[in-house]
């Protein structure tokens, strides 16, 4: 009986987690065009103020700009950050993300 309850609880947790998961959403075309010349220089884990997250970092030499793409644990892009001249600016955040 314990195993059946345990399995039901796991199924319920999985269903709830899936209900709260982000749906993949495209970034605006204008932003994609700005970063089109960026070359990937890092893919893996990046430190952020909220902890370590999955990320990709690209560098556009012509614009002297770094682009950081942040992903959730399921691999869904949730934020695009532009880094230029020692400053960073969030350029896009997933519309379903609540901060």
Predicted confidence (pLDDT) per residue in 35-77, tens digit = 999 999 999 999 988 899 999 999 999 999 999 999 998 999 9
80: closest CA among 62, 46, 64? Answer: 46
Q: Where are the domains of the chain?
A: 24-93
What's residue 49's pLDDT?
84
Hey, what CATH class is 24-93 in? Answer: alpha beta
Greater pLDDT, 44 or 11: 44
Greater pLDDT, 34 or 20: 34
Predicted confidence (pLDDT) per residue in 80-92, tens digit = 999 998 899 999 9
Beta strand spans in the chain (E): 39-48, 51-60, 65-71, 77-84, 87-93
Report for 18-22, 25-29, 39-43: range of highest mean pLDDT: 39-43
Q: Which residue has the tokens 């399995």?
A: 7
Q: Where are the alpha helices (DSSP H) in 1-99?
A: 2-20, 29-34
């Amino acid at each position: 009986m314990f195993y059946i309850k345990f399995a039901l609880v796991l199924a319920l947790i999985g269903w709830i987690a899936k209900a709260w998961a982000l749906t993949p959403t495209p970034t605006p075309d204008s932003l994609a065009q700005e970063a089109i010349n960026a070359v990937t220089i890092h893919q893996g884990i990046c430190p952020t103020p909220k902890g370590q997250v999955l990320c990709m970092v690209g560098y556009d030499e012509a614009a002297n700009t770094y682009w950081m793409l942040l992903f959730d644990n399921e691999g869904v892009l949730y934020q695009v950050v532009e880094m230029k001249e020692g400053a960073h600016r969030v350029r896009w955040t997933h519309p379903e993300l609540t901060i």
